[in-house]
């Protein structure tokens, strides 16, 4: 089974991997910018997300092998890989497992370490939505607001809604499997995994996902890594400060 993607432009292949409960469309604006700068951009839906296939099997080994199968199917010999959060862990695992397939690596606001499950509030809120009764996006947002007060997070999540049939909404992501695999989402790559290629780690200045004391761990797994910070941004740094995110990534890619 091959992952669903949207391919934009022509040039050097650049794969973009979204985060937990996200999808390829989250990166559409930045994808257009990269394509305008000479890259063939592959906006990829990871398994159990977006329009890609659903599966009970879900960990970073599976997600990494999905990327390998994808590039084989697209006849890509070597690519640049950008990954955010969960997608960053997938990108790390892929680069460590298949280094000859990765030209450069960009990791957005995630470190090679274990993160305890911390999305329970979001999952619980999503599970409360009864699509036998909810028939509009406005209704879904009103219901979800009882559990999640942050408007931006709700809008991010509700982008996953689609019409199964007339009058029948559903989420594209596989909520039940993701709920059951929360522990896997926080897992780290292997303690002996390394990638020696050029790597850029970007963190948001308001995010706590990459701390100063994570730098040694990053360098142990990715000895050729540069670590930089995006200003005025939290965990969704590419959405909160897209201009600075793009400028720092394109500088890294063009050097």
Residues marked as catalytic: 85, 235
| Percent composition of the chain: helix, strand, coil (DSSP 3-state, to 5) | 40, 20, 40
The answer to whether 26 and 50 have CB atoms below 8 angstroms apart is: no
Q: Which two tokens stand for residue 136?
A: 């509009």
Give the distance from CA 167 to its chain's centroid.
30
Query: If you write DSSP's letter for every residue of 11-39 in order, what string do you get?
Result: SEEEEEE--TT--GGGGHHHHHHHHTTTE
Give the distance from CA 250 to its chain's centroid.
18
């Amino acid at each position: 089974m091959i992952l669903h993607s949207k391919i934009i432009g022509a040039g050097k292949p650049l794969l973009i991997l979204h985060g937990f409960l996200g999808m390829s469309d989250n990166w559409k604006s930045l994808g257009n910018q990269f394509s305008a700068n000479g890259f063939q951009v592959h906006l990829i839906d990871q398994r159990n997300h977006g329009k890609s296939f659903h599966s009970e099997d879900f960990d970073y080994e599976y997600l990494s092998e999905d990327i390998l199968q994808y590039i084989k199917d697209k006849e890509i010999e070597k690519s640049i890989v950008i990954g955010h959060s969960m997608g960053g862990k997938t990108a790390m695992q892929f680069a460590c497992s298949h280094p000859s397939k990765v030209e450069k690596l960009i990791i957005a606001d995630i470190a090679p370490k274990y993160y305890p499950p911390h999305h329970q509030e979001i999952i619980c809120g999503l599970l409360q939505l009864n699509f036998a009764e909810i028939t509009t996006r406005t209704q879904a947002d009103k219901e979800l607001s009882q559990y999640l007060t942050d408007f931006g997070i709700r809008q991010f999540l509700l982008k996953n809604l689609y019409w199964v049939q007339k009058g029948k909404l559903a989420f594209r992501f596989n909520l039940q499997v993701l709920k059951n695999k929360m522990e896997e989402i926080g897992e780290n790559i292997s303690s002996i995994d390394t990638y020696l290629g050029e790597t850029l780690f970007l963190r948001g200045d308001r995010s706590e996902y990459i701390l100063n004391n994570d730098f040694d761990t990053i360098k142990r797994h990715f000895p050729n890594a540069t670590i930089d910070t995006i200003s005025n941004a939290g965990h969704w740094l590419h959405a909160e400060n897209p201009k600075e995110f793009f400028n720092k990534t394109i500088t890294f890619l063009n050097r």
